[in-house]
Chains A and B, each alone.
Chain A
Amino acid sequence: MKKRLYLILIVLFASFSGVMAQVKVSGTVTDPEGISIPGVSVVQKGTTNGTTTDADGKYSLSVSSANADLQFSFVGMTTVTEALNGRSVINLKMKSESVGINEVVVTALGIQREKKTLTYASQQVSGTELRVAANNNFMEAMSGKAAGIDIKTSNSGAGGSTKAVLRGNKSLVGLSEPLYVIDGIPMVNNKGGQPGSYGGVDGGDGLSQINPGDIESINVLKGANASILYGSQGANGVVLITTKKGKAEKTTVTISSSTMLDQVSGLPDFQYDYGAVNNSDYNWSKTKGNYQRDYIKNFFQTGVNETNSLSISGGNDKTTVYFSYSNTSAKGVMPTNTYQKNNFTFNQSTKLFDDKVTISSNVMFSDEVSRNRPGAGYYNNPLTGLYLFARERDFGSYKTHYATFNKDRNMDVMNWYSTEEKQNNPYWEINKDPKLSTTKRAIASVKLAWDVAKHLKFEVRGNIDYANKLNDNRYAAGGNSVSVSPNGTWSYSKYTDQALYTDGILSYNNTFGKFSVNAIAGASYQHNTFSDGMSVGNGTVSLMYPNFFSFANMPYNVMFNQGINKVIKQGAFANVQLGYKEQLFLDLSARNDWASTLALTGNQSYLYPAVGLSWILSQSVSLPEPISFAKFRVSSSQTANEVPFNVVNPANSINGAGTPSGIGGIGRNTQVPFTNLKPEVITSNEIGTEWRFFHGRAGLEFTYYDDVSTNQFLTLGAPSGSGYTYFYVNAGKITNKGFELTIDAEPVRSTTTSWKTSINLSQNKNKINELIASQPNYQVGGDDEGFASIIKAGGSFNDVYIYKFNRNDAGQIILDANGNPTKAAKQVKVGNVNPDFILGWNNTVTYKDFYLSALINAKFGGVAFSKTEAFLDSYGVSKRTADARANSTMPINAIKGTTPVTSIDPEVYYRAVGDRNRIMEPYIYSRTNVRLGQLVLGYNFNVKKLKLPVKEASFSLIGRNLFFFYKKAPYDPEQAMSTGNSMQSNDVFSVPNTRTYGFNLKVTF
């Protein structure tokens, strides 16, 4: 009843304003080809009085004055203001707002520039586009939507980390991930630990804490050329996030709700017909049995991810505000895995002193709780025991009785038949080994902008990004003795990450005849204090009392560790953009940094420059009609990177607990003092061109880049006899060359139907030209249980080396005296973990009130490796081992002594090749995959027609990773086991890939 009353009031109010109107205006709005455009917003300027064109592009509006100004706006069209001047009919032909012509984009430090003037590549993605498939993580949603960005998502589920690399890997020891920036200010994106072969859990990163709903748009600055003003932090490119702000005279309340379901879509192919003999761990019986079949599939559950959010924005001429709240509640495909997140965001902006000063602030708070986030690797992983389970046994009883009472200890211990280090009862693992990870984070900024004089503006900003993190992993007593102490194991860490940032920027914009000047000068100060906290872990040293996880229960020989990582960086920077006749632009930048981590080296202050030139051909010469815009650009820059904390002159540490009665010994620092340490240097050059055709209905953007990284910070073992154990050098040369191509078009545009399509294609070629000239065999990375991902001179970043079969010159596999296939003596390179080409093809089709969005993601080239499959084979649980057994022998082109061998016993073969560290040749796959990345079918409610009491309402059905058009690897290489540098394109019992589907409902009041 009450609601209805409000409605009546609203309607009354609306009609009241109608009563005031004195002049009626009408007309038709069309595009340049004369096709009418529905949905154009027609507003009497300076008021809230307005309407939209109907399906035929017609509108009718009553305005308060015959001299009013009407403003016509529509997405993709240039906004037009028409003075009424007494007219009652205004028919308008709107012009396409060609991207690259008048688009204003946010560049480094939040400086707004017209895109056409930029001398480097950047690509903008709208928040709407990011949110269309209801991803929880905005970077996951970026995949395929911008050229040249290689994104992998951790398969650990909600709250997991992502790995994004622009223009290839540049740093040997660091992660070559871009800098993330919120409204001009760098945000912290510290990545937690990642799983390796032996185990571990994704430690998350800083991106999951951002609410995608708060994002207005993202602009990707692809190279160092674009990001020099951020200094070294921007050397790997920058992802600029512009958050939503309140808008004057427009109060909106938006409620959005999505429910997404995750299902395991890519389990390995198992066999359930052959069990083990003699209670073995290995399923090599030759006799078929009738065994349980569905327990692997049934182990996983349907994941559910529910996100509900509310945002309110509004304001007036002086003040605008925006508030949002979002809640995510999820459970993963792995039982007992849950994730909860709450986000609060509030920002405001107020104009003071005759609008000369603007004070704005932004606060983002997030709270994440992850329980039992799934990991990978051998240890404490439920999937090893689940997959390798001896088929002839009764899985059901192990499921029900995962714990068994031990009389000698008067407590429960794990019930499992195998004592192998990598095997656990999967139900014991998920129920008795609880893992908790929480993040509480606040990002708060305040900004003061002052229009000092007509062409001069001064801005000062301050920001604090503070996160409190807890990781608390408990492993119950009575678990696997290799990884869990007899009384249980506790791994605990609690620490804070804090980044203080402040800058002041003076900007000057003016035009002198044919010349324009946009100049800025500023200084910044950053003080980062990361990993400031403590950690303790008893490993396999026994706790004093079982299953009591407390500091008080730690024995004397477990050390409590404290850590910290600090960097102070001061920067001074300047940038001048000179324009000539709106067609030639010269961009000059320089930045000087002072970094505390280089103190004592004499190199703590370092300067680096950038220069760029762009020429808008279409402004200079008259081009054929179909070409509406043409531009060429070239730029070159150099950035320098500070080195890690506390490497110049470290002190000593206490390296052990000592004896029960004595004191712990001191570990002397045995690093060579490194007082001539230099910053790392990255030089990048790029050329590009941008074209728009047919009034902007189609366009092309192409960039070629060539980056060189030198003076890499490398650790090197000191010569044994030198008196030291290791030292650091500045060495190495890494090049990344490649291109980025974006093509977009709107092939169909009519009153009822439109089809927009865009293709993002990129290639990166990485080459490690040199690491340490005097040591040609120096390499970063090494063999990891039969899979080596290696960086060394002459190769490229993360080349894969494995053992192949030992073959003779005729290509026959050499069998040993017992008939086992033999392994080649040395590992050989079989490819690289990184793809050669990355393609994203995005399509949006609208038909009346319906829309359909389809994204095809493809990565071509590279290799993937599966140790999971190698284990499944050696344990005789893969389907192919059953198929081979059914035929009793399998063909082989081999030789034993001098006798050719053409068939081999499957058990002999698979036990020789499978498992870890054996002949990994059969487990290398093509990395290439092409998928339907997202498919969204939506309906925009015609709120007027349906007389809904809302401004907008939409409903969509969403699918992500629905299916593969092409995939050869037995898992999804983009749903990554690790988002670190090693273990890329690798699978060691990590969570199987999933497909996601669900729906989203959004209502705006």
Chain B
Amino acid sequence: MKKIFIAFLFMCSLAACTSNFVNENQNPYQITDQMLTQDFNLLGSPFSGLLFNLFGHQIEEDLVHDSFMGYMNTPTPFVGNVNNTTYYIRWNVYWDRVYGSVMSPSKQVIDLAKKNNLPLFASWAKFIRLLSISKLTAYHGPVIYSKYGSTDASIGYDSESTLYNTFFAQLDSFQTDFSANKSYVGFKKFDPSYNGNMSAWSKLINSMRLRLAMRLTNVAPALAKAQGEKAMADANGLIETNGDNFNVSLLGNLIPVAMICFQWDDTRMGAAMESFMVGLKDGRISKYFSAADFPNLYADHPSVPYKGIRNGAYCDAKIDKVPYSRVSYDFNSVQTRRSFTAAEVKFLKAEAALRGWAGAGSAKANYEAGISLSFADWGASGADSYIADATSTPINYVDPKDARNSFTARSTITVAWNEGDSNELKLEKIITQKYLNNFTNTLEAWVDFRRTGYPKIPHVAKNDSSPDWGVIPADQWIKRMPFTTGERNGNAAAVAAAVSTMGAGAKDDIATRLWWDTGGPNF
């Protein structure tokens, strides 16, 4: 009996306590909030990631608005050459990046800021959210913003008008917070863009107000004017020198366009860029692109060795298009991406001047300053002669491999400003130059194009739009990206409600215009 007892005792000791289970289920190679409180890292440490995720990669940008706007196009006939670039939606994931890598972690920052009584970090996080969501709404239209983080079963979208009014109100509050703390140094360690310089952030807040105001010129001109004038009047100023440019750190990663171009051979110069830059004799072309591999590719302009690929091109074999112009090899060593430049601010002010907004100054001066700043920013020479060129116009494009992709340039503008031009022509020049400046930061160019119709880029050569995702007529361009499949399936009621805010007969497809895309006149 004693022996049995011993045996039982042994077995009981085996079924030992489970008190260490909680610890054992933790991964020692993860960093806890407790550890992050040291050196006050808890709140600031996620910011470099939040900023990084303002931008997407191949399937969020390169195969979307980089291609739609003719900046870049792919030599690869992805999915049988029926894909986003030919208006048949295959990839639609920017939404996931915004909510997964910006909204969700920033929510934790905002909650922690409240808990730790560091409200400036909350303002900062909210401002980055605004930067991110203002891009996402230009992609889809209504998005989840004010109801984000609620526990509702179906989380509702904000209509676009609500979004922009919210943005403007929030910008007021951010500016109040930031300008009251000009000497605050708490962001320094966590801010790869401005090294914690509060004044620089204040300029970005004003510049954002101007950018967002300009989006509304056709749909809500009074609001646009009021907000635009407010932005230009604010004592904190705008981004008006290249030193104030808002650049986002690549965090040691290769800039996506270089990776997609050099490592994957999946992107090349866009034909629209060739048409404008070769035609207008743009000195930035060698800073953006490198020469095509074979002279027979650019036989139509042998002294300017570049060849682009048409947006929505016919593409039978990748090998045909791989030798076309890559981006400049300089992109292999850049550490940051342009997100908001002084040149863009100048072009915004040039349009503001055209529209008679107070504080904008002269349209011509802003337009020419924008070009000069852009040339300087990109390290290109010849800005003065470029600005003075009143004869060169965009060239017609020839695809040496497939004539179906060739096109006649729709635009006949020159660079030189002419005060005698109509407002439309002046606006075309301003937006065209804004477009040329915004290389590698292309979403706002898609906004401008839908709002104003400029620059006059070609239609897609191959239009695969269908009732599946919406039909784009031959004389039109893609209007938006549909809501994601995940939202359509998982949040159907909210998606339906969002679509109903997009106007009578609106559908969740690529042919439905966004709120500020009225299709009406610019003036």
Contact = CB atoms under 8 A, between A and B. Distances in A.
28 contacts: A280-B319, A458-B3, A504-B10, A523-B12, A525-B15, A540-B254, A561-B29, A563-B29, A571-B15, A572-B15, A596-B18, A599-B25, A648-B25, A649-B25, A649-B26, A652-B36, A657-B251, A659-B48, A663-B45, A665-B52, A668-B104, A717-B486, A717-B490, A720-B96, A721-B99, A723-B104, A823-B80, A825-B466
Nearest to A561: B29
A620 interface: no
Contact of B29 (A562, A571, A667): A562
Given A481-B263, A663-B189, A717-B486, A657 B319 contact: no
Contacts of A898: none
Q: How large is the interface on A (under 10, 10 to 19, 20 to 34, 35 or more residues)?
A: 35 or more
B151 to A, nearest CB: 8
Interface string B1-38: 00110011011101110101110111111111100100
B25 A566 contact: yes
A650 interface: yes
Contacts of A503: 14
Contacts of B147: 721
Contact of B7 (A452, A667, A912): A452
Contacts of A571: 15
Given A280-B319, A419-B265, A917-B80, A525 B27 contact: no
Given A653-B31, A660-B252, A720-B155, A570 B49 contact: no
A379 to B, nearest CB: 11
A13 B11 CA distance: 51
B251 A721 contact: no
A193 B249 CA distance: 33
Nearest to A656: B251
Given A659-B192, A721-B144, A721-B155, 15 more contacts: A280-B319, A281-B317, A420-B319, A481-B262, A481-B265, A571-B15, A594-B21, A649-B25, A652-B32, A652-B33, A657-B251, A719-B491, A720-B95, A721-B494, A723-B104
A506 interface: yes
Contacts of A566: 24-25
Interface of B: 3-4, 7-8, 10-12, 14-16, 18, 20-22, 24-33, 36, 41, 45-49, 52, 78-80, 82, 95-96, 99-100, 103-105, 107-109, 144, 147-152, 155-156, 189-190, 192, 249, 251-254, 259, 262-265, 316-319, 322, 335, 466, 468, 484, 486-487, 489-491, 494
Given A502-B14, A670-B105, A721-B144, A657 B252 contact: yes
A567 to B, nearest CB: 8
Nearest to A595: B21
Contacts of A717: 96, 486, 490
Given A720-B99, A917-B80, A568 B249 contact: no
Interface string A456-491: 101010000000000000000000011000000000
Interface in A641-682: 645-646, 648-660, 662-670
Contacts of B264: 421, 482
Given A525-B16, A717-B486, A656 B252 contact: yes
A653 B30 contact: yes
A788 to B, nearest CB: 13
A75 interface: no
A482 to B, nearest CB: 6
A431 interface: no
A777 interface: yes
A659 B249 contact: yes
Contacts of A595: 21
B160 to A, nearest CB: 17
Contacts of B8: 506
Contacts of A649: 25-26
Contacts of A965: none
B166 to A, nearest CB: 15
Interface string A519-551: 001111100000000000000110000000000
B252 to A, nearest CB: 3
A669 B3 CA distance: 52
A720 B487 contact: yes
Nearest to A484: B263
Given A523-B15, A650-B30, A662-B249, A656 B104 contact: no
A597 interface: yes
A503 B489 CA distance: 49
Nearest to A670: B104
A651 B48 contact: no
Contacts of B45: 663, 665-666
Contacts of A665: 45-49, 52, 251
A552 interface: no
Interface centre among A281, A460, A598, A599 (most CB of B within 10 A): A599
A722 interface: yes
A871 interface: no
Given A648-B25, A666-B49, A419 B30 contact: no
B113 to A, nearest CB: 13
A652 B30 contact: yes
A452 B10 CA distance: 14
A81 interface: no
B193 to A, nearest CB: 10
A600 B25 CA distance: 10
Contacts of A506: 4, 7-8, 11
A775 B148 contact: no
A600 B123 CA distance: 34
B266 to A, nearest CB: 9
A888 interface: no
Contacts of B52: 656, 665
A515 interface: no
A570 B32 contact: no
Contact of B27 (A600, A646, A656, A658): A646
Contact of B31 (A522, A652, A658, A721): A652
B25 A662 contact: no
Interface in A551-606: 556-557, 561-564, 566, 568, 570-572, 594-600, 604-605
Contacts of A659: 48, 192, 249, 251-252, 335
B335 to A, nearest CB: 7
A282 interface: yes
A662 B192 contact: yes
A725 interface: yes
A666 B31 contact: yes
A724 interface: yes
Given A481-B262, A650-B30, A719-B155, A604 B104 contact: no
Given A720-B99, A777-B489, A541 B254 contact: yes
A453 interface: yes
Contacts of A418: 319
A692 interface: no
A918 interface: yes
B364 to A, nearest CB: 39
B413 to A, nearest CB: 34
A562 B31 CA distance: 12
A651 B28 CA distance: 9
A153 B18 CA distance: 40
Interface string A704-740: 0000000000000101111111000000000000000
Contact of B26 (A646, A720, A777): A646
Interface in A59-117: none
A646 B26 CA distance: 6
Contacts of B249: 659, 662
Nearest to B320: A280
A917 B14 contact: no
A452 B3 contact: yes
B3 A725 contact: no
Contacts of B82: 823
Contacts of A504: 7, 10-11, 14
Given A419-B265, A656-B48, A775-B490, A723 B107 contact: yes
Contact of A666 (B3, B36, B259): B36
